[in-house]
Structure 1
Amino acid sequence: MTVELAPVSVPDFGLPLQKPSVPVHTYDLRCREAYDRAGCDWVAVYADREHFSNIAYLCDFEPRFEEALLMLGPDDVRVIITGNECVSFAQAMTRLTSFEVRLCQAMSLPGQDRSRAPSLLAVLKDIGILAGQRIGLVGWKPPALEAGEDAGFFFPSVYVDALRRSAGDPSAVVDRTESLMHPEQGLRAIVDADQIAAFEWAASRATAAVWRIVTQVREGDSELEAAARMAYAGEPLSAHVMLASSDASGPVVGLRSPTARRLSRGDGVTTAVGYWGGLSARAGLISDGDDDFLKTASAYFKGLLAWYETVDIGVAGTEVFSRVSETLAQGGLGSMLNPGHLCGHEEWVNTPIRPTGDYRLRSGMVFQVDIIPTPMPLGWALNCEDPVVLADAALRSEIATRHPDVMSRIDARRSFMAEALGVNLSPSILPLGQTPGCLAPFWLKSGHLLVKG
């Protein structure tokens, strides 16, 4: 396989303005399924500003400034417990047929009023939790069982303690996070046509924002000026905006926020923008050419091609991991993290793509093509992250019927990847972003992309 640097014009696939909505009845069904899967009398779903995705998936509310619990109980009881600032927000934003919002001022910010409803224990009793009942916890990630049998919960202990006291028996409180976040069987591992359309809206806008940075950056820009070229329009973020650069005196720190540092010719640079349902990242050189860098970038691009050519419905995650790892190794590279993972409202839900484990890729899985090459010399950066979804014929038909504009953009992206980049995708791989597979190693020559020869 050969890789070439060639002039490529990226089409305008059309940028969606109106975000497709997920119907209320879908959120009702999600709550019912989450409750049934847990096999408990009650399910407690934790959320805060950083860890909001599970609650957002279940009811479309996510707390701001405060914590919240979504309590799912017998007979379709659904109660959101939150602090002073989010009570009215939850009432306005929650998309369920029936629900209650209860105030617990312990969830409010420090120094705020605690005179009306300070006790979580009292609220839990008031909504109907009884001694002897079993409570399943959904935290922000499953327990790390590899760390030992007593792995605990990824759920604040102050709330775990209150739930245990409500149940009257510490052993009655159990973890059920994997019911939502298991890498293959979790409720959130598979999404429907409406959610795919909503995520395509986010992915389209995030990838367009990153591509504006890549194509408009100029030598002498500050990192802040370069980041401003994304033209942020206020979309809900799944991660902070990242943009960082460095010369050969130090590493390019990918997670860093932009600063006043000026971009100079030869610097490595990286950027990432993530909205709910899609993150895009690109990294390269502030340059119009460098033979050594091009050689490494070509080896990395072969790893991306291996991902796209291996992934399909029914394929084992271990096979994807091995194929990508082996291809990168031929160029002296590895993948810093798992080469690909499930994404949702947050950037990383879980991943079936692992060196071990019996996990298969399934229709309805939304993936981040996330291959971070390592090692990188000081002052170099490479990255090309895009969101895609796997969809069988039935799901593709449903997307086309319910959201024809979405499928039209997806079909155009698939054609572009095949005709311009030489990447022939399985029919099940649907690119969600505006620049699928577009890797411009030299940002001062961004009209030239790596393509399969």
Structure 2
Amino acid sequence: MRVVLKNVESPQIEYISPQILSDETMEIRKEKVIKTFVQEGYDCIIIYADVEHSANFEYLTGFIPRFEEACLVLHKNGDCYLLLGNEVLGMSKHSRIKNTPLHVPQFSLPDQPLEGKKEMVDYFKEAKITNKKVGLIGWKALYKINKDMFDVPHYIVEAIKTIALSVSNATNIMIGEVGVRRINTVDEIRHYEYGQVLAASNMLKTLDSLQIGKTEIEMASILESEGQRNNVVTIFSTGKRFAKANLYPSMKKMILGDAISMTVGYKGGLSSRTGYLVSDKNQLSETESDYIEKVAAPYFNAVRTWLENIHVGMSGKELYAIIDRCLPKKIYRWSLNPGHLAADEEWLCSPIYKDSNESLESGMILQIDIIPSVEGYSKPCCENGILLANEQLRERIKYQDYEMWRRFETRRQYIKEQLGIELHEDVCPLSNMVAYYRPFLLDKGKALSIID
């Protein structure tokens, strides 16, 4: 088999509606969290949140603290306290988890009224954590280094330590090997599919709109839609990136031969593409004219290998080794995990690393995230997400949401017929942009494909 650039039928733009999680799903989430933290030896957990690190909090409440901070205290008997700032306090009555709200002005914006003169420790006393074994949850897997290391503000940690019997980093309850957020139900898959489709559809519209002379801002406006909150900074960059440390789209115009980088992400996943603003290799510089053979084709073969080999039950190190064999890290200089989990955030965690004994499980949503870095060439990228589903989960999807199942099958057929990739039976593509890659961006009819 070899990789070729050929005429390929373009995917169709997909439109699906956002899906609100059911009350049953939210109750299941709460039960899973309590069961797990009790098994880990805690009397209660405290989840910290701010706008950038709010997904563990939102997992139970259904909302984020926006521009404020917040804490959720959950006891093993199911009692829940929400510690909220001035402008988010009113959300307690809309929360998906039954709760007692506690107004904590210290969680509000700078210089807003600090009514009352309570210390932080007083609020945690009201939340009944005194003399309890507390699991404190941030958002990083620092527990793998030290259970006494926390990615939570010092003033909160010190207040908890003052009255708790003990406090340890318990983020593994959410994202570790026992993490409840790693595995998704049919309802959650449907919820996250919307974000995957929205990102992919916007990416396809952007690819189809590329034109010499258009600005980064013009193109970025196509990447964004439907008023949804992004889970990554939206990228549209032409030519050299990060001039004067700028991360955001500007009025810079695209010119022939530019390297282009595009990324957009929402709940459930991300879509990312790179390439050159050319019609064929003759428009590349002499040193980059072998881009397909030298970089893009080996990369695309790695994507194919990932999709054809990933399956339920394999270890993370097994998949890592497969990618390292077909796209040697020493040559292609990829440095991160060749794949990771996605949820409300773009990168939840990753079971795929060199010495990982973590198992890839049914219900996981994963991003194909392999980023080679070959000196002198643009980095290739065609990142999108998939669901891992064993036969039992696939049957549940067919029964509970046949329309979603039909979308999976339509995408699978497209990837096989147009791109020459035979997905493993456990792989359900979460959008029709999975593995669709145009390295020469002005030739909108051609994409990379596998042929015998």
Indicate the TM-score class for this superposition, using the shorter chain for normalisation: over 0.9
The answer as to whether partners of 1:13 and 1:409 remain within 8 angstroms in 2 is no
Structure 1 vs Structure 2 CA RMSD: 2.1
Q: How does 1:45-444 map to 2 (within 5 A)?
A: 45-92=47-94, 94-96=95-97, 98-116=98-116, 118-130=118-130, 132-143=131-142, 145-146=144-145, 149=146, 152-167=149-164, 169=165, 172-182=166-176, 184-246=177-239, 256-290=247-281, 291-295=289-293, 296-329=295-328, 332-377=331-376, 380-444=378-442
Q: How far has the Cα of 1:442 moved from its partner?
A: 1.0
SS state of the match for residue 237, structure 1? coil
Deviations 1:318-360 (A, max 9, x none): 1211111221239942323111001110011111111112112
- Give the % identical residues: 28
The answer as to whether partners of 1:105 and 1:119 remain within 8 angstroms in 2 is no
Whole-Å Cα distance in 1 between the matches of residues 219 and 342 of structure 2? 26
Matched letter for residue 68 of structure 1: A
Whole-Å Cα distance in 1 between the matches of residues 182 and 398 of structure 2? 21
Deviations 1:121-148 (A, max 9, x none): 2222123232x211111111121644xx
Deviates more, 1:81-90 or 1:415-424: 81-90
Whole-Å Cα distance in 1 between the matches of residues 62 and 375 of structure 2? 40
Q: How far has the Cα of 1:53 moved from its partner?
A: 1.1
Q: Which residue of 2 aligns with 1:22?
A: 21
Matched letter for residue 106 of structure 2: A
- Aligned residue pairs: how many? 440
The answer as to whether partners of 2:311 and 2:388 remain within 8 angstroms in 1 is yes
The answer as to whether partners of 2:92 and 2:99 remain within 8 angstroms in 1 is no
Deviations 1:282-322 (A, max 9, x none): 00001111141221211110111111121001112112111
Whole-Å Cα distance in 2 between the matches of residues 6 and 253 of structure 1? 38
Q: How far has the Cα of 1:446 moved from its partner?
A: 2.4
SS state of the match for residue 445, structure 1? coil
1:100–1:161 distance in 2 versus 1, CA, 3 Å:
same
Whole-Å Cα distance in 2 between the matches of residues 317 and 367 of structure 1? 12
Whole-Å Cα distance in 2 between the matches of residues 255 and 206 of structure 1? 23
Whole-Å Cα distance in 2 between the matches of residues 11 and 274 of structure 1? 19
The answer as to whether partners of 1:245 and 1:253 remain within 8 angstroms in 2 is no
What is the TM-score when the length of structure 1 is the normalising length? 0.92
1:106–1:205 distance in 2 versus 1, CA, 3 Å:
same
What is the TM-score when the length of structure 2 is the normalising length? 0.92
The answer as to whether partners of 2:13 and 2:204 remain within 8 angstroms in 1 is no
The answer as to whether partners of 2:147 and 2:169 remain within 8 angstroms in 1 is no
Whole-Å Cα distance in 1 between the matches of residues 214 and 327 of structure 2? 32
Deviations 1:390-409 (A, max 9, x none): 01111112222222221111
SS state of the match for residue 335, structure 1? coil
Q: How far has the Cα of 1:376 moved from its partner?
A: 4.3
Structure 2 gaps of 5+ residues are: 282-288
The answer as to whether partners of 1:199 and 1:278 remain within 8 angstroms in 2 is yes
Matched letter for residue 442 of structure 1: F
Whole-Å Cα distance in 1 between the matches of residues 218 and 238 of structure 2? 13
The answer as to whether partners of 2:68 and 2:108 remain within 8 angstroms in 1 is yes
SS state of the match for residue 77, structure 2? helix
Whole-Å Cα distance in 1 between the matches of residues 76 and 242 of structure 2? 54
Q: How far has the Cα of 1:252 moved from its partner?
A: 9.6
Q: How far has the Cα of 1:447 moved from its partner?
A: 2.0
Deviations 1:68-117 (A, max 9, x none): 1111014210111110011113433x212x22222100000100010147
Deviations 1:391-433 (A, max 9, x none): 1111112222222221111110001011111111111100102
1:150–1:24 distance in 2 versus 1, CA, 3 Å:
closer
The answer as to whether partners of 1:338 and 1:371 remain within 8 angstroms in 2 is yes
Deviates more, 1:367-376 or 1:111-120: 111-120
Q: How far has the Cα of 1:54 moved from its partner?
A: 0.8
Q: How far has the Cα of 1:255 moved from its partner?
A: 9.3
Matched letter for residue 259 of structure 2: G
Whole-Å Cα distance in 2 between the matches of residues 330 and 354 of structure 1? 13
Q: How far has the Cα of 1:206 moved from its partner?
A: 0.6
